[in-house]
Amino acid sequence: MPNDRPAPLIELKAAGLYCAAGDFYVDPWKPVDRAVITHAHSDHSRWGNKHYLASRQSEGVMRSRLGDISLQTLDYSERLRIGEATVSLHPAGHVLGSAQVRIEVDGQVCVLSGDYKVQPDPTCAAFEVVPCHTFVTESTFGLPIYRWREESALMAEINAWWAMNAEAGRVSVIYAYAFGKAQRLLAGLNPSIGPIVCHGAVETLNDAYRACGVALPETRMVTDVTDKSALRRAMVIAPPSTQGSRWLNRFGEYSDAFASGWMQIRGARRRRALDRGFVLSDHADWPGLLSAIESTGASQVYVTHGYVEPLVRWLNEHGIDGRSFKTEFGDENDEAADGELAPSSAAGDPDGAPVAADDVIGKVVSGDSIDDSTEERGA
Amino acid sequence: MKAFAALYTELDSATSTQRKLAALGRYFAQAAPANAAWATYFLAGGKPRQSVKSSALRFAAAEAAAIPEWLFEECYDAVGDMAETIALLLPDASETSDIPLAECITTLILPLRLLPLEAQMAGLRTAWSRLDSASRFVFNKLITGSFRVGVSRLLVTQALAKLSEVDANIIAQRMMGYLASNAQPTADDYLKLTASHNAHEPDAQPFPFFLAQSLQSPPENSLGEATEWLVEWKWDGMRGQLVKRGGSAQLWSRGDELISERFPELMEMAAALPDGCVLDGEVIGWDSQSDAPLPFAKLQTRMARKKVGAKLMADVPIVFIAYDLLEYQGVDIRSETMATRRALLVGLVDAVNEPRLKLSAAIQVTSWAQLAEVRREARERGAEGLMLKRLDSAYGVGRTKRQTRGEWWKWKLDPMSVDAVLIYAQRGHGRRASLYTDYSFAVWDDNNPDSDERKLVPFAKAYSGLTDAEIREVDAFVRRNTLEKFGPVRTVKPELVMEIGFEGIQVSKRHKSGVAVRFPRILRVRNDKPMEEADTLESLKALAGVG
Ligand SMILES: [Zn+2]
Ligand SMILES: [Zn+2]
């Protein structure tokens, strides 16, 4: 008798993952009235929603990407009543401001992870285990072939590669997604090796990070460099779209590398024709996914974007009710969607800062924002 | 093993030949001879008999990684490489040691073959537990017999030549027999391979091959009078040089590879050749009853084997069709005219009088119009078209030297064709929906302004021309060599070369390659061609009349 059963806290609708009790969506892929956003990557935080709710640390990046939107922010753990639901945001450890969305209705708790990682990251708040009945997890790297090394060992390898290039008078170029990966790299670089040059798309996000109090080493844009000879020892951080583009010509001889979880696979490294591939991901690896799922204590787990089927099957073989949601986050198995910025800051105008496009929908309408329900602090 | 694994990683990520050569040089300079012996063996393409069945390997790996077999298969599907999948799945070893390559092969790998399954699995576990992750990967590669790292036998030969200061062709000669599947090369073998040259060692070096250019327009437009040319059939076999000096003979392929062992009957025939002679010609399967060539695929079955059995030799008898004489009575006669060399060649073939040595027939015509008629018979005769060689020309070097340009032409029936590398495959439709039947092909772009590294540029899609059996074979190749899947499309490890024919070609701004071809179709699978020898974008552009 389906009518006697409590309505699920979260369900899949055409526009995205929907919470009926609060009449809102989480990371919708089609425009809706109320969107709770886990993080500001473009596949999770899209244009055209009427009202947005996100973490306070997300505000800068979201506004720079989406322009003048109606956005309400929450501190981590701060509780907000939306309709019948109590909503709070908790660190997901993915990028600056990334959050898991906790929804509670009548004592039932559902947590949507968005994207997350459990490895430490100096540029964002660490993943928080939020106990729940139902956990919605991503599965970007949901196969046991994906196991990340200790970050400090990897950063040491990257710094050694940079130092070796610098000694040879060769510029080092690392392609990294402008939002998140680039800053995490920066935080681990050893600035005593040489100057650090960032592509305009990366620098915009560096500013947003610094504005939130994240310590990053000194960086400069190519246009700031007057003494070209100083570049010979430089580390350049640029978005993947610059690979093979004219933007790189100015650096003369360089060695290049890509920082991504996909670099774990030899074929992916070879196909990109790079000198090096550094396995650095902002997503959980296989052990990370399993430990996160287990520690939530959830008895029901919905798996979204990535290696959905293997993870669902594994969970069911291990006593957890695993199911899947067919979402439109990322491209299946494609990290490329992550961290791509709005078109205005694409490689065509490399040094220009992103500007708000004209076609942003959604203006602040007083008295009709997402917080018109009662607020409930603390607990 | 660590040094060898590091070499593998370096070779694997290097795209330029120069870097690969340098990496090989560094490795061999420091390697102990016993290890260098095995490194040479594997890098140059030697394959020992498989010591462990792939199913046992999978089972042992899944067990060691504590995952069910279905999950192992999912992982294999994502990685596309068995050795790598296993290396990624195994738990980190607690204590690793640097086992020398030779020891690793002779004590950890070769003995496994004769053991019962249980003992094999135990052996694998022990080996894995002693190796670090890079070494494990290479260890798995050696075990699965899929050790390929983008270096050719030729490149290894060159590296050893540079290091030992012995001529590369001498090294190649000495390497004959080195790569046999049951060979167990020792330190001594390696030292002999690289020992300095002594005067008694016969010199079997070939000359650089002179290559013909493709004729794109009818000959009357550019080639003057038909009577100034020697015209021959263009056979669909394999170009070779037969070198007879100091009482012994060697057969070289165009890739500067010694192929004597693959064609024992030609070596037998060569015994009848006079000393101090070098023949340029075509190695080809021949049906003596119909006096016509066997299909190219038959020759491929011969080329696939390093050692040939009596049955295969009877099934695919081989002849050498001689079309030029480069050295005669110990004298290099390449600067003589084609007419002079031809006369000497006719006399020589006649005197040798051996059924396995045939003279390439000269087609007598008095006009181009007459020749165009003759050309139509080519297909019927099992030829690919015609060869045109200027009668007063010397034997040149390579393809592009200016002074010899335009002296050898190939006038193919299918003038528009290139050898290209398979890079993507897509599922077919209808009854072939379960097979990968639609392919995308790439050619080499050598003109990378920023570096000397060549890269593959996609230029055409083709989905017809193969038989069902060939499609099944390619389908299996695609599945084994998938790098990535996007819906119905798979990215395939670049390796397989096919000859692609097309009706026309033109410059196109919309295509990444800069050219667009009309009605591309697959002419045949070229299992005999390493992908490094696929055609270049430049040659495509030349067909389009630019560049
Ligand atoms: Zn993300
Ligand atoms: Zn995502």
pLDDT, tens digit (0-9, with 9 covering 90-100), for A345-361: 222 222 222 222 222 22
To the nearest whole percent, how much of chain B has pLDDT over 70? Answer: 93
What distance in Å separates the CA atoms of residue A126 and residue A95, rounded to the nearest whole number? Answer: 10
Q: Which secondary structure element, helix H or strand E, spans residue B285, and what is its range? A: strand B277-287
**C-alpha to C-alpha distances, B106 to B38, B53, B111, B120, B143, nearest whole angstrom:** 10, 18, 7, 15, 12
Which single residue is written with the structure tokens 């933007």? A247
Domain boundaries, chain B: 2-143, 210-412, 416-543
Q: Identify residue B40 by its one-letter amino acid code.
A: T
State which residue of chain B sits closest to A144, comparing Cα positions.
Answer: B89
Residues A29-49 have a mean pLDDT of: 95
Please answer whether residues B245 and B238 qualify as being in contact, where contact means their C-beta atoms are separated by less than 8 angstroms. Answer: no
Q: What is the CA(A94)–ligand 1 centre distance, in A?
A: 7
* Positive or negative: CA dihedral B421, B427, B432, B435: positive
From B440, B404, B415, select the one nearest B539 (Cα to Cα).
B415
Stretch B24-32: mean pLDDT, rounded?
A: 96
Three-class DSSP category at B525: strand
Angle between helices B2-13 and B17-30 (to 10 degrees): 170
Identify the weakest region by mean pLDDT among A52-61, B159-168, B295-304: B295-304
Q: How confident is the model at residue A145, as a pLDDT?
A: 96
* CA distance, residue B133 to nearest chain A CA (Å): 12
Taking only the tens place, the pLDDT of each residue in B249-274 is 999 887 667 888 889 999 999 999 99
- Average of per-residue pLDDT values in chain B: 86
Q: Which stretch of A97-111, B106-120, B463-477 has the lowest confidence by average pLDDT?
A: B463-477
Of A145, A268, A314, which is closest to B85 when you measure between CB atoms?
Answer: A145
Distance (Å) from the C-alpha of residue B425 to the closest C-alpha of chain A?
15
> CB distance A271–B79 less than 8 Å?
no
pLDDT band, residue B428 (cuts 50/70/90): confident
| Interatomic CA distance for residues A336 and A333, integer angstroms | 9
Decide if B491 and A268 are in contact by the 8 Å CB cutoff: no
Token digits of residue A28? 């919708």
- A interface with B, Cβ–Cβ below 8 Å: 143-145, 147, 249, 264-271, 273-276, 307, 309-310, 313-314, 317
Task: Name residue, tokens 């009548």.
Answer: A106
**Bigger pLDDT: A188 or A354?**
A188
Q: Is the pLDDT of residue A375 over 70?
A: no
pLDDT tier for residue A374 given thresholds of 50, 70 and 90: very low
Contacts A145 to B, Cβ<8 Å: 75, 78-79, 85, 88-89
Triad B80, B81, B84: Cα angle to 5°? 125
Would you call A144 and B67 a contact, using CB atoms and an 8 Å cutoff?
yes
What integer pLDDT is reported at residue A347 of this predicted model? 27
pLDDT band at A1 (very low <50, low <70, confident <90, very high): very low
Q: Between the ranges B130-144, B428-442, B514-528, B529-543, where is the mean pLDDT highest?
A: B130-144
- Residue linked to tokens 């708040």: A125
**Which residue in chain A is spatially nearest to B448 when comparing CA positions?**
A244
pLDDT greater than 70 at residue A187: yes
**pLDDT at position A373:** 37
CB contact under 8 A, A313 and B70: yes
**Minimum Cα–Cα distance from A274: chain B residue:** B13
Which of B450, B453, B489, B490 is most worth mutating to test chain A (most A CB atoms within 10 A of its CB)?
B450
Q: How far is the CA of A44 from the centre of ligand 1 (A)?
A: 7
- Cβ-based contacts under 8 A for chains A and B: 56
Sign of CA dihedral B18, B20, B26, B29: negative
The arithmetic mean of pLDDT across residues A164-185, rounded, is: 95
Chain B partners of A270 at a C-beta cutoff of 8 Å? Answer: 12-13, 483
Nearest neighbour of B75 by CB, restricted to A144, A268, A317: A144
Residue B92 phi/psi, 5-degree rounding, is -60, 140
DSSP assignment, residue B519? S
Cα separation, B499 vs B486, whole angstroms: 26
Per-residue CA distances from A357 to A341, B254, B369 (Å): 12, 60, 68
Per-residue confidence (pLDDT) for residue B547, from 0 to 100: 45
CA R_g for chain B? 25
**Single pTM value for the model:** 0.67
Amino acid B21: pLDDT: 94
Looking at the complex, report in whole angstroms how far the Cα of residue B472 sits from the nearest Cα belonging to chain A.
24
Chosen for mutation from B10, B19, B75, B147 (greatest number of chain A CBs closer than 10 Å) is B75
A286: chain B residues, CB-CB within 8 Å: none
Average pLDDT over residues B397-410: 63
CA B269 distance to own-chain centroid: 25
Which ligand places an atom closest to the C-alpha of A40? Answer: 1
Q: How confident is the model at residue B451 (pLDDT cuts 50, 70, 90)?
A: low
Contact B74/A266, CB-based, under 8 Å? Answer: no
Higher per-residue confidence, A359 vs A272: A272
Q: Where are the alpha helices (DSSP H) in A100-237?
A: 151-167, 181-188, 200-211
A33 — pLDDT class (breaks 50, 70, 90): very high
Q: Percentage of residues in chain B with pLDDT exceeding 90? A: 44
CB contact under 8 A, A267 and B493: yes
Strands (DSSP E) along chain A, which ranges? Answer: 11-13, 16-19, 24-26, 34-36, 51-55, 71-74, 79-82, 85-91, 99-105, 108-112, 134-139, 171-175, 196-198, 235-238, 254-259, 276-278, 300-306, 321-324
Query: B423: nearest CA in chain A?
Result: A271
B68-77 average pLDDT score: 94
A284-308, pLDDT tens digit by residue? 999 999 999 999 999 999 999 999 9
pLDDT of residue A234: 95
Q: Are A90 and A77 in contact (CB under 8 A)?
A: yes
Q: How far is the CA of A109 from the centre of ligand 2 (A)?
A: 22
Residue range B2-143 forms a domain whose CATH class is mainly alpha
Q: What is the distance of C-alpha A80 from the center of its chain?
A: 23
Quote the ipTM score: 0.86
For residue B512, the model assigns a pLDDT of 77
- pLDDT of res. B253: 86
Output the pLDDT for position A245: 84
Q: Which of A147, A249, A273 sits opposite B455 (nearest CB)?
A: A273
Task: Calculate helix-pair angle for A151-167, A181-188, nearest 10 degrees.
Answer: 70
3-state class (DSSP) for residue A319: coil
**Range in B125-134, B223-232, B508-517 the model is least confident about:** B508-517
**Residue scoring higher pLDDT (B102 or A366):** B102
Binned at pLDDT 50, 70 and 90, residue B450 comes out as low
B153 C-alpha to ligand 1 centroid (Å): 46
What is the torsional sign of CA B535, B536, B541, B545?
negative
- For residue B506, the one-letter residue type is Q
Cβ pair B13:A268 closer than 8 A: no
What is the reported pLDDT for B199? 66
User: Which residues of B have a CB under 8 Å from any CB of A?
Assistant: 12-13, 15, 65, 67-68, 70-71, 74-75, 78-81, 84-85, 88-89, 450, 453, 455, 483-484, 491, 493
pLDDT top residue among B84 and B513: B84
Structure tokens at B37: 């012996």
Where is pLDDT greater, at A25 or B514? A25
pLDDT score at A218: 96
**Which pLDDT score, from 0 to 100, does residue B406 have?**
64
Query: CA-CA distance, B80 to B65, in Å (whole number)?
Result: 18
Determine the distance separating the centroid of ligand 1 and the alpha carbon of A328, expressed in angstroms: 12
Burial class (CB in 10 A: 0-12, 13-18, 19+), A143: buried
pLDDT level of residue B58 (50, 70, 90 thresholds) = very high
Domain covering B210-412 assigned CATH 3.30.470.30 in the classification: yes
Residue B399 has a pLDDT of 53
Q: Which residues does chain B have within 8 Å of residue A273's beta carbon, measured at their own beta carbons?
A: 15, 453, 455
Distance from CA of B196 to the nearest CA of A (A): 35
B70 band by pLDDT with thresholds 50, 70 and 90: very high
Residues of B in contact with A144 (CB under 8 A): 65, 67, 71, 75, 89
Q: In terms of CA atoms, which chain A residue is nearest residue B487?
A: A332
- Give me chain A's average pLDDT, please: 85
Ligand 2: distance of its center to the CA of A44 in Å? Answer: 6
Centre of ligand 2 from the C-alpha of residue B15, in Å? 33
Question: Nearest residue on chain A to B492, judged by CA atoms?
Answer: A267
Q: How many Å lie between the alpha carbon of A305 and the closest alpha carbon of chain B?
A: 14
Q: Is B233 in contact with B361 (CB distance < 8 Å)? A: yes
More confident position, B68 or A368: B68
Q: Do A267 and B85 touch (CB under 8 A)?
A: no
Return the ∠ at Cα B262 (arms to B256 and B266), rounded to 5°: 90
- What is the three-class DSSP state of A199? coil
Interface test with A, best of B10, B19, B71, B492 (most A CBs within 10 A): B71
Q: Which of B57, B109, B51, B107 is nearest to B87 (CA)?
A: B57
CATH of domain B416-543: 2.40.50.140
Per-residue pLDDT of A57-91, as tens digits, reads 999 999 988 999 999 999 999 999 999 999 999 99
Q: What is the pLDDT of residue A332?
A: 29
